[in-house]
Amino acid sequence: MKKELRKIVAILNSQPTMEGAGVRLQRVFGFHDLPRLDPFLLLDHFGSENPADYLAGFPWHPHRGIETVTYMHQGLVEHGDSLGNRGVIASGDVQWMTAGSGIIHQEMPKAWPGPMRGFQLWVNLPAASKMMGPRYREIKKEQVVGFSPAAGVQVKIIAGKIGNRQGPVKDLVVPIEYLDVVLQANAVFRHSFPDGWKVFAYVYEGQGIFTAAESVSAGQAVVFGPGAEVEISAREQGLSLLLVSGRPLAEPVAWGGPIVMNTQEELETAFNEYRSGTFIKNP
């Protein structure tokens, strides 16, 4: 018996944006979409065939009150942070950084022979966890669980659990599910979500039909309303998408650039501490 499909409440068109020291990227959603996708704050799609569009990178900058999840689809990014972590995120790798009380880091893409592509998702932290100790996790592509739930469908679990398959990050502060789904021509994928969770899909390649009605193409995101599951069908050219869901926090948001707190006072405190050199609480 089929479950009730989630209706589409919005289709978002990603917007060209400049960030960091001059990186050209596509912003799928961000500040102006609050609180529609709570607990998610922002999704950026970065990459290009022209290294000049991304080599300037994201030099040293602070974060507090959020988690940043960087999924490197194709390419290389060097990173470093105030916890002493150094390394390279390569194709298929994931960097899961919990800023908590404060972290300063940099992410510097390297020249890549061919199209480079990556995604960064910001997950809000609840008030009770905003000042937790920061932590950093680097997940290699071999750790990302992949499987085929239906003919012509491949799913990678970056976070969350499907049946007895568990994503590589198990101690999530906020319960979320983050899937990379690839459908061959005319394949169909149905997936259920916990009641009350927010759900969105971002198409990064191809074209598909969502909830048996709306046609969505690369560069567009689908925001789903209440219901039990979603149904996604690929058109002739196939379809590749991120399917992300999470339990809402339903808390006030005070957002200033790379720092997200619950009140304006907390936000001002964070920036004052950054200016005075007392931002890092857990070196």
Q: Which residues contact 149 (CB under 8 A, 6 or more apart)?
A: 155, 162, 189, 191
Q: For position 157, what pLDDT does the model report?
A: 97
Q: Let me know if residue 233 belongs to a domain.
A: yes
3-state secondary structure of 143: helix
Q: For position 272, what pLDDT does the model report?
A: 97
Q: Let me know if residue 282 belongs to a domain.
A: no
Q: Let me know if residue 1 belongs to a domain.
A: no
Q: For position 31, what pLDDT does the model report?
A: 95
Q: Let me know if residue 183 belongs to a domain.
A: yes
What range defines the domain where residue 53 resides? 8-276
Q: For position 175, what pLDDT does the model report?
A: 96
pTM of full prediction above 0.85: yes
User: Which segments of 75-114 are extended strands (E)?
Assistant: 77-81, 86-89, 94-98, 103-109
105-146 pLDDT per residue, tens? 999 999 999 899 999 999 999 999 999 999 999 999 999 999
Cα of first residue to Cα of last residue in the chain, in angstroms, is 53
Q: For position 1, what pLDDT does the model report?
A: 59
Q: Let me know if residue 283 belongs to a domain.
A: no
Q: For position 95, what pLDDT does the model report?
A: 95
Q: Which residues contact 1 (CB under 8 A, 6 or more apart)?
A: none
Q: For position 283, what pLDDT does the model report?
A: 64
Count other C-beta atoms under 10 Å from residue 157's C-beta: 20
Residue 115 is encoded by which pair of tokens?
């199209």
Question: Distance between CA 211 and CA 209 in Å, rounded?
Answer: 7
3-state secondary structure of 128: helix
- Give every residue of the chain whose pLDDT is below 50, as ranges: none
Half-sphere exposure of 238 (CA within 13 A, CB side): 11
Q: Let me know if residue 281 belongs to a domain.
A: no
Question: Distance between CA 206 and CA 220 in Å, rounded?
Answer: 11
Q: Let me know if residue 79 belongs to a domain.
A: yes
* CA nearest to 183, candidates 216, 206, 214, 160: 206
3-state secondary structure of 138: strand
* Residues facing residue 176 across a β-bridge: 246
Q: Based on the structure, what is the number of domains in the chain?
A: 1
Element counts in the chain: helices (H) and strands (E): 1, 24
Q: Let me know if residue 130 belongs to a domain.
A: yes
Q: For position 212, what pLDDT does the model report?
A: 79
Residue 124 is encoded by which pair of tokens?
């809000």
Is residue 168 exposed (0-12), middle (13-18) or buried (19+ Cβ within 10 Å)? middle
> Which CATH number belongs to the domain containing residue 153 in this structure?
2.60.120.10
